[in-house]
Structure 1
């Protein structure tokens, strides 16, 4: 499959100049920080929409606000554009929108996967060529989703020895949302071997919490430089402060995020059926893109049996997100496992309490009784927790306010950067010695 070639010469973003404090925080004069001179940073996120791109974009904005020069490389038509001095977003890669459901026959889907693999190879080639030309202080990549990513990362590491390489291991063991097995994590021998080598080739691996760090170090022991940076909020791109409190919304329940096996939607629907048995007026909304490992027809049939379930399969545009959260009192997460959920931080941005199953690292994000309720992964337990929040608007408001406070205190992007930059500097120094 032919792919279009583009020049690999986008300029690095200039260092920020002082600006007044605004909703996104004060700009910082380059070199004014006490921890050293500004860094030149290239962020690479191949896919131009969705949670991973939003995370990388907001990370880049926070780095730029602290005086660093940041270039974000991504695919065509990115859903966010920067107005922050010091951050430039460049559409360099011939990748695709991951949230477009193209469907088609089995053969057509197979051919599409081959075409996307070729586009991914070309994207890594362009990233490698640009990094060799620009020689930034460091380059940060998002999750290594496929064995192909790990293999091409290793090639890039050999060709760019003077650039400190960073990986953000959102899921230290990538989740399998395409396979037909019951396994949540990709467990193939080739996947594990290449990922192990890729992590060891990194000058720094960032994880989003203590739970993911434990998972990473258990699965890949002996990594030399790992740091916890945390997960920021979405207030910079979403007007969470304009959302009415939970008590102003009807007693509705929202599930927000991708429909995939590890999110355990059958458990969620079984719990909602128990809620409806005593609260028939309550509604549930399922909103988010559908992954290949889920049968949407089966979800639709079960939802029809229960009633009062609004299905919104597909990517939710960012302009629709505030209204969606405002129409619901509580957000539900019945995961079977989790590292760090961006959707939990999204709920907190809008001041919504959450009910979540106490699995994996969920307790890193949800403070039981304060920002929401943690419960056993059992339909009756989940239903009881939902009813407890829905029947007590004052408690919902209190937990929603605590959720917003947690975002400001522990999940701000400035806090993420404050943790990441010292680790960056150590990685850069190690690369140069």
Structure 2
């Protein structure tokens, strides 16, 4: 039963143990709202009944039917030997194309029924099922065995869940990371009415915890934490949800006057959207959790979050969306709740950044429409007969140098692609500066290349002689890379830059040896920069290099740039016939650390990053005496390694003739980066030419304003008068005036620094970068 997948709706039978209260059941209701536009027809089969004191709990049945879902309730006992036969009859009658099972009992029954009906099955892991006894361990292993035999692939909701499953089942089991989505919250009450119902004072704050009342959800930790939270600002915490601990938690609150005053036990609520919209922040104290959808709803409503790092919570809550603490630590939870209450009470840029980051993360990853679209893609691939290798693209990100800004970009892009479910290798040189933090993204240091700062203090004669040595290393790197690509056969190969003739020859070889691979380039600088002091100007391309690279650019299947100016430059410089897409530059989260605000610093300006001709250090040196005439107490710090087009001796001599200037010549190790930005009131980028600047994003990561030249795509990163000041290039007087403005006004510097950090949080998530990257990739697997 294989439909014409390009033109028909896919009929999916969701088999679940019951249709009462629970996270998995609620997920089906969310999916039902967005399934039809995604080309999905849903059939839901509930196997057993959940009995409560008031009868059978089948509360999601009317909700599903209201969305046009065909619902079948079998009312089977737990161990009904004929349940699979009954489900199979339904599958045939409904002409089902694929079965999607939820939770252990349904995995077995639904998987067997799919076999009987001759259709494929997939299974979603809704929990992290850690064995607590020998008997429990046997059940977990039995469920694992059933999934491996009956489901074509298993869907993990988070990276934590994927790690748990592969630790038990093995690294090579078919598994796809695909988080659930949530629809936009629907409001039925206004905010004021909800808060009045809960007894929240007009000047008080409201936090909401939405979760089933079970031991692993950590409600006891939350109650203990509330005992430590100060009375000011006044805070009310509302617990929404029912479950086996409802009576116990209610009794605990009723018996403690301090808790009774501040905690509301709401039981089951059908108006979760209203509660989240009415609150000031959301609390989630779980000790175990796969992917709590209440936190996704909090992101959708742009609400700050206080949660633990348990299970898949960190897949939902990025550090810029709230505060995370270790699970099972009431004191830390209480401190986090206190901090968040103060942030909300103060309002201002910090709260705005959190709210913007939360909303942006929802839209990029967790919206229900995105979820339904990804499910549809998965279903089509499974129905077409794809195995696990076909469900995930193998992507190789080639970054020859294992440190510096381009390596940081490649690694963080790779991690974003892995979070999106792809299989990623970052191919680089020895002793890389960072390892990957995300399963599914690996840093493979197999290339015999070098660090950008290697030998920077070597004498001049050696710096010239080693060009031949590095030429041999680069050749060897291409030999290793070709061998890896031939063995691995990735679906997508991505480079950060090309600059030597061998790069062009290597790309042409790959085009012929791995013809089905998509060849891509993230062009940070479309024109080759000057690499030697004897060359004039900013850019230089030898005729041999230009000839070799011309064919490489012509062989591209897709190219990416970081701004419109770079796009136009790329198209004018090289014969690119492939689509050229603009993607944003993510933040510099790899280097982020807590630093004081800009107004807590002395009047220090920082010029940071590799020192090369086009970055305009000479213009900065001309401007600095003009700054000191107005601000004699100001200080300039120039920190970074000198590139090969810079005469280090001449640079030292020039700086030595200036007052109150410190030159820290050399590559800045990662642990020291934050200290430079912590001491600076502003960051200066006096570029003569540039397509973009990672340093501008780094400055905004540390909430520092930027003084920069108005060149290339810098204006897309620095909003003039908002997150920094833009000046004409090679204009010392204008550069000095802008530096004086920020160095002499701490409040202005903080306002612009905060604005830069806020803008970065809303437009530069690496998950969004990865999503745009994937949308633009051609797919040659079909």
Specify every segment of 5 or more residues in structure 2 that has no aligned partner in the other structure, as ranges: 1-170, 178-289, 291-311, 322-360, 378-390
Q: Structure 1 residue 90 and structure 2 residue 383: aligned?
A: no
Q: 2:691–2:711: 8 Å Cα contact kept in structure 1? A: no
Q: Secondary structure at the match of 2:373?
A: coil
Q: Structure 1 residue 193 and structure 2 residue 582: aligned?
A: no
Q: 1:254–1:286: 8 Å Cα contact kept in structure 2? A: yes
Q: 1:255 aligns with which of 592, 604, 607?
A: 607
Q: 2:512 aligns with which of 154, 158, 179?
A: 158
Q: 1:246–1:328: 8 Å Cα contact kept in structure 2? A: yes
Q: Secondary structure at the match of 1:175?
A: coil
Q: 2:399–2:426: 8 Å Cα contact kept in structure 1? A: yes
Match of 1:398 in 2: 751
Q: 1:419 aligns with which of 772, 776, 782?
A: 772
Counterpart CA distance in 2 for 1:308 and 1:262 is 24
Q: 1:330–1:390: 8 Å Cα contact kept in structure 2? A: yes
Matches within 5 A, 1:22-421: 22-23=317-318, 34-35=373-374, 36=377, 37-104=391-458, 108-221=462-575, 223-235=577-589, 237-240=590-593, 242-377=594-729, 378-421=731-774
Match of 2:211 in 1: none
Q: Deviations over 1:218-260 (max 9, x none)?
A: 222552221111211112x2234x2211101111000001111
Offset of 1:267 from its aligned partner? 0.5
Structure 1 residues 14 and 121: alpha-carbon distance in aligned structure 2, compared to 1, 3 A threshold = farther
Q: Deviations over 1:159-218 (max 9, x none)?
A: 111211111111111212334222211232222222221111111111111110010112
Counterpart CA distance in 2 for 1:186 and 1:94 is 26
Specify every segment of 5 or more residues in structure 1 that has no aligned partner in the other structure, as ranges: 1-10
Q: Secondary structure at the match of 2:524?
A: coil
Q: Secondary structure at the match of 2:657?
A: helix
Q: Secondary structure at the match of 2:425?
A: strand
Structure 1 residues 126 and 28: alpha-carbon distance in aligned structure 2, compared to 1, 3 A threshold = farther
Q: 1:16–1:69: 8 Å Cα contact kept in structure 2? A: no
Match of 1:20 in 2: 313
Counterpart CA distance in 1 for 2:576 and 2:407 is 29
Q: Secondary structure at the match of 1:150?
A: helix
Give the structure-2-normalised TM-score: 0.51
Q: Secondary structure at the match of 1:326?
A: helix
Give the structure-1-normalised TM-score: 0.90
Q: 2:396–2:490: 8 Å Cα contact kept in structure 1? A: yes
Q: 1:16–1:28: 8 Å Cα contact kept in structure 2? A: no
Question: Relative CO higher for 1 or 2, CA cutoff 8 Å, sep ≥ 6?
Answer: 1
Q: 1:267–1:379: 8 Å Cα contact kept in structure 2? A: yes
Q: Secondary structure at the match of 1:177?
A: coil
Q: Secondary structure at the match of 1:165?
A: strand
Offset of 1:108 from its aligned partner? 3.4
Structure 1 residues 294 and 155: alpha-carbon distance in aligned structure 2, compared to 1, 3 A threshold = same
Match of 1:7 in 2: none
Q: 2:365–2:767: 8 Å Cα contact kept in structure 1? A: no
Structure 1 residues 395 and 108: alpha-carbon distance in aligned structure 2, compared to 1, 3 A threshold = closer
Q: 1:40–1:136: 8 Å Cα contact kept in structure 2? A: yes
Structure 1 residues 264 and 28: alpha-carbon distance in aligned structure 2, compared to 1, 3 A threshold = closer
Structure 1 residues 387 and 104: alpha-carbon distance in aligned structure 2, compared to 1, 3 A threshold = closer
Counterpart CA distance in 2 for 1:153 and 1:402 is 42
Count of matched residue positions in the alignment of Structure 1 and Structure 2:
416
Counterpart CA distance in 1 for 2:717 and 2:588 is 15
Counterpart CA distance in 2 for 1:172 and 1:387 is 33
Counterpart CA distance in 2 for 1:126 and 1:60 is 21
Structure 1 residues 190 and 14: alpha-carbon distance in aligned structure 2, compared to 1, 3 A threshold = farther
Offset of 1:38 from its aligned partner? 3.3
Counterpart CA distance in 1 for 2:664 and 2:424 is 36
Structure 1 residues 12 and 171: alpha-carbon distance in aligned structure 2, compared to 1, 3 A threshold = farther
Specify the structure having the higher radius of gyration (Cα): 2
Deviates more, 1:225-234 or 1:348-357: 225-234
Q: 1:259–1:294: 8 Å Cα contact kept in structure 2? A: yes
